[in-house]
Structure 1
Amino acid sequence: MRSKNVVITGAGSGIGRELALQLAARGNALALADLDPQSLDETLIQARLIGAGPLLGQALDVSDEAQVRDFATQVTASFGTVDVLINNAGITRFGDFASTSAEAFRKVLDVNFWGVVHGSRAFLPALRASRGSLVNLSSLFGLIGVAGQAHYCASKFAVRGFSEALRQELKADGVHVACVHPGGVRTRIARSASFDQAVDDQEALISRLEKNTLKLPADEAARIIIEGIRLRRERILVGRDAKFVDLLQRLLPCAHTGLIHRLLGRASGRNKSANP
């Protein structure tokens, strides 16, 4: 993972920023995108200071196919080749299905799933040419369904299925397709989330999640992902919780859901009536 041309979406914060900085420290050329131009600029400044190769930054809404296509054109014109694409951009919301509008549900799918599809399609010719790596961020919630996260789970299961199918299609071209399943990573995704139903104390809920569930440092998550890309692993499980859920789901596919819900409910402080 040195002297590569790497594209990362959602690079303004969280796992995306840590991926960018760790790859910058290895001297890679980076094309970074994020919806928030100010956060993106901060990442670009830090990446430049720690020794990145050529840098390109672009404010980008990954749900807009035309924007993603234009970004890919700009990247290939500047870098010539693309060795790694990391479709990392994502959002979440809180609220059960009945409380979530169709528009809100669609927004999560547009960013988390269609953003991955748009990025994959736009950069596929370059990745075929380089026999590079296409890396899609799913989630622990791409392994299990969880109450109050129907939209997020739907998007992350879709990323998983899309990645597995695309992997088979691209094997003959020598393109490595990885699906990443992070568990609870210490980022600001919970604080950035929208709420589709009222909670007694929104701040207390987020604080409990951060304390009890979102434990793995983002820099450690990025290190695991980069190592997985280097080894061209097809499934990258990030964190002990992701590995535990994956194992439980494989061993007890019918019995794991209730246990996981009880554990998650206890971690977030949700009462029993809110859990299945």
Structure 2
Amino acid sequence: MTRVALITGTSSGIGLAAAVQAAKAGYRTVATMRDLSRAGKLRAAAAEAGVELDIRALDVTEDPSAVVAAVLADHGRIDVLVNNAGAGHVGTVEQDSVENFRKTMEVNFFGVVQLTKLVMPALRATGGRLITVTSVGGIVGQPFNEAYCAAKFAVEGMMESLAPLAESHGVKVSVIEPGAVATEFVNNVGLDLETAIAAAGPYGDQFRNYVSRTMQSFSAAQTPDEVAEVILKAMTDESPAFRIQTSQWAEGFTGLKLADQDGSAVQKLTGGWVA
């Protein structure tokens, strides 16, 4: 019996690394991405690792029912769903558009909702794993990340609520909480830095300080492979934790929030980012 893993957002970064590592560990890995024209890097990584992947198109903001049905028809089962697809967004609510908030929620939250809904019956049938890559931003709200953190908070709330019910039917639920991962931060969120600072108006100085601090954190970030190792452990451990941070820094950062009953410790920390 070959276990089947369905992983979203695999064209680069964490998703790419997770797909390759899952295949190396013996999973029949269905690696999905929105645009198959971006699959070259994934195919090259799989070839270098000596593994085969089933690469398919899947836009999590659209109806994924045909893709899920095709995977089940072709492979007969799904043992693991890794909700990894997502997109960053930077902005503050006064100056951002409601439409940007909606788009950020569609990618990072509703995409997770609709795919999880479709795959849950298959996971119940296999006693499978439901793993979702969130962020430390799913625990700690951060300046200029209102839309993104709102979406990640929503994902964490959904999964925390679902976990005991899923467990009662044999499905183990985990959320993976990375901090900074070695990607190009400004390019990843589609940000023209000087234009964004100029457009920030009364928040310009705070935005410049936030970006400077964030880019410094990305310069000492984890690699996608390091995060993928944590995902694979959640896939294979007999009893994975619900909430899993991917580094000591992430453990300390989220731990501050989880012990911060009145919110003052987090406000003091993140306020220093923009002061």
Quick check: TM above 0.5? yes
Q: Does 2:235 align with 1:229?
A: yes
1:73 aligns with 2:73: no
Deviation (angstroms), 1:48: 4.3
Which SS does the other structure have where 2:168 is aligned?
A: helix
Unaligned runs of 5+ in 2: 199-203
Q: Structure 1 stretches (4+) deviating beyond 4 angstroms? A: 200-208
Identify the match of residue 251 of structure 1 among 255, 259, 264: 259
Offset, 1:207: 7.4
- The answer to whether the aligner puts 1:211 opposite 2:220 as a matched pair is no
SS of residue matched to 1:62:
coil
CA distance in 1, matches of 2:160, 2:260: 22
Query: Residue in 2 aligned with 1:33?
Result: 32
Structure 1 spans left out of the alignment, 5+ residues: none
1:167 matches 2:158: no
Q: Which moved more, 1:199-208 or 1:145-154?
A: 199-208
In 1, Cα distance between equivalents of 2:212 and 2:142: 19
Letter aligned with residue 153 of structure 1 = C
Q: Give 1:94 deviation, angstroms.
A: 1.3
Letter in 1 for 2:226: E
- CA–CA distance in structure 2, aligned partners of residues 235 and 51 of structure 1: 32
**Greater fraction strand:** 1
> Counterpart of 1:181?
177
Alignment partner, residue 42 of structure 1: 41
Q: Tell me, what secondary structure is at the counterpart of 1:184?
A: coil
The question of whether the paired residues in 2 share the 8 Å contact of 1:27 and 1:51 is answered with no
Deviations 1:102-160 (A, max 9, x none): 11111110000011111101111111110100111211011111121110011000000
Q: Which moved more, 1:106-115 or 1:93-102?
A: 93-102
Alignment equivalent of 2:196, drawn from 180, 185, 198: 198
Change (3 A) 1:130 1:138: same
TM-score relative to the length of structure 2: 0.86
- Contact map agreement 2:131 2:234 (CA 8 A) in 1: no
Task: Determine if contact 1:10/1:33 at 8 Å carries over to the other structure.
Answer: yes
Question: Equivalent residue of 1:216, what SS?
Answer: coil
Partners of 2:185 and 2:71 lie apart in 1 by: 27
Q: CA RMSD in A?
A: 2.5
- 2-structure distance, mates of 1:189, 1:13: 14
CA distance in 2 between partners of 1:170 and 1:204 (Å): 42
Q: Which letter maps to 1:34?
A: M
Q: Tell me the SS of whatever aligns to 2:188.
A: coil
Quick one: percent identity of the two aligned structures? 31
SS at match of 2:7: strand
Alpha-carbon contact 2:90-2:148 (below 8 Å) kept? no
Name the SS for the 1:233 alignment partner: coil
Give the secondary-structure state (helix, strand or coil) at the position aligned to 1:223. Answer: helix
Alpha-carbon offset, residue 44 of structure 1:
3.1
